[in-house]
Amino acid sequence: MNARNIILILIGLAAAGFVALVLSGKIMWFSTEPPVEINPNMDLQFKAIPQSGNTFFSDRKSLREPVEGTVPRGAEPYTLGVGDIDIAETANVDPNLPDTEFVLARGQNRFNTFCSPCHYYDGNSEKSQMTKRRWENIPSLMADQAKGYSNARIFHIISAGQGLMPSYADKMNATDRWAVVRYLRHMQGVTGTASAAPTTQAQ
Amino acid sequence: MFSRRFDMGVKVGGAIIGAVAAVVFLIVFFGFRNDVADVGYRPEQPVPFSHKLHAGEMQIHCQYCHAGAEVSAHSPVPTSQTCMNCHMAVTPKDEVQEAKIKVLKDAYEANRPIEWVRIHKVPDYAHFNHSRHIRAQIDCQSCHGPIEQMGVVSQYKPLTMGWCLDCHRSPEKFIVGARPISGVFTGKLHDMKNLYDSAYIFTPIPAQVGESLPITEPQFGSYETAIPPVTVAGIPHPKKAGIGPENCSACHY
């Protein structure tokens, strides 16, 4: 057996190995085309699945808007507008979540997820990504002004928004928002109720 | 009877046809299996959104945009409103960025959804539930791969039934390590590297340590009880927690 044959055999083995690895899925093959299904297997059925297109409706959306004047079951719409600060002081009744590690951890989770892009993990807003990305003067949550706000006022700002800040009522349910208030108060070192709202139990 | 040449032709022709048939069989049988064909699907999206920039560099948490993944079966693609939370105020750097943002702004102003191309899809007869997996402390990357490093998202895992069952049978081989410090849990994206940065770690109030419940994802709607963590050597263990059913009707109902 000469050297030429050995080289040919090696090339053949390498090609066979490559084919075997591709066919067994060990080598990832990027494609912009949707995968071909030789046997469709009822993978795609004619039914409405979330956020898919749907030819049944004229606007081609599977997700339907609620009928006017109705509220979806389980929804907690926040009805106050951005300017309704005075109403919010009395309308938002602090449920006084217990100041346990559990509630604070939940508040921290939601704060880090939704608040930290602008206000940063420590609430100071200086090192946050949005400040770095040419959005100046995001108010600090550790400033005396924010510390002086009542719990109901902070809940109102989270729920309805303020200035350039949008509403987060669609992303967090009411209990989660109160947990965020609880966690923020913990970070600020504001103890007790700085709230002007009644402190009775919501339940 | 037949000439020598015809006889040879039959033999060679038969060999060629057999070889072609074998190759076609191999390609059809293996190459179009879902775990081969689906992995690496990387479609072009209407807006060239980069997870590498948003999740990787800016460290925006997954659930900021995919809010609802922890309470519903479907992990929603964010609405244009969610994009505009930041992009109404963040100014684009140059014309290239401005053109990309313009598609988004036009859709937002016209109140028309952006038609994102779906990548990850289980068959319609299988019911995958995101919230159950997040509550079982499984992070996003376990199934979606290193999303925060992907400029253009591609499917990373096969999402076949065998792949599901592999993990349901022995999750400890696939779910890497402990999850309380993963982003899903603390809200800080892949904070493994910041684990020792005390500023990001919640420090419990000393007086309440003794009586406090362990930090776990709350059962939604109830702040009274936590899901009791089942741990093996301090690591929450999905299998031991009774999670990962293998019966058919768990997913096919």
Q: What percent of chain B has pLDDT over 90?
A: 15
SS (H, E, C) chain A: CCHHHHHHHHHHHHHHHHHHHHHCCCCCCCECCCCCCCCCCCCCCCCCCCCCECCCCCCCECCCCCCCCCCCCCCCCCCCCCCCHHHHHHHCCCCCCCCCHHHHHHHHHHHHHHHHHHHCCCCCCCCCHHHHCCCCCCCCCCCHHHHHCCHHHHHHHHHHCECCECCCCCCCCHHHHHHHHHHHHHHHCCCCCCCCCCCCCCC
CA A98/CA B206 separation, integer angstroms? 15
Of B31, B89, B205, the CB nearest to A23: B31
Q: How many domains does chain A have?
A: 1
Q: Cβ of A89 under 8 Å from any chain B Cβ?
A: no
Say yes or no to pLDDT of B14 above 90: yes
Q: Cβ of B207 under 8 Å from any chain A Cβ?
A: no
Asked whether residue A155 is assigned to any structural domain, the reply reads: yes
Please tell me which residue, B187 or A40, carries the higher pLDDT value.
A40
Asked whether residue A176 is assigned to any structural domain, the reply reads: yes
- What CATH number is attached to the domain comprising A109? 1.10.760.10
Q: Cβ of A57 under 8 Å from any chain B Cβ?
A: no
Range of the domain at B12: 4-32
Cα torsion B234, B185, A92, A198 to 10°: value is 20
To probe the interface with A, which of B29, B64, B85, B182 has the most A CB atoms within 10 Å?
Answer: B85
Mean pLDDT by 10 residues, chain A (203 residues): 87 88 73 82 85 85 87 84 87 80 77 87 84 82 89 93 90 86 87 48 35
Q: Which residues of A touch B41 (CB under 8 A)?
A: 31, 34-35
Asked whether residue B184 is assigned to any structural domain, the reply reads: no
Q: How many domains does chain B have?
A: 1
Q: Cβ of A65 under 8 Å from any chain B Cβ?
A: no
Asked whether residue B28 is assigned to any structural domain, the reply reads: yes
Chain B residue with CA closest to A138: the answer is B89
Asked whether residue A136 is assigned to any structural domain, the reply reads: yes
Asked whether residue A179 is assigned to any structural domain, the reply reads: yes
Asked whether residue A69 is assigned to any structural domain, the reply reads: no
Asked whether residue B132 is assigned to any structural domain, the reply reads: no
Return the pLDDT at A193.
Answer: 55
Range of the domain at A145: 97-188
Please indicate whether, in this complex, the C-beta atoms of A175 and B199 are within 8 angstroms of each other: no
Q: Cβ of A9 under 8 Å from any chain B Cβ?
A: no
CA A30/CA A25 separation, integer angstroms? 12
Window 113-132 of A, Cβ < 8 Å to B: 113-114, 116-117, 121-122, 129-130
Q: What is the ipTM of this complex?
A: 0.82
Asked whether residue A73 is assigned to any structural domain, the reply reads: no
Asked whether residue B153 is assigned to any structural domain, the reply reads: no
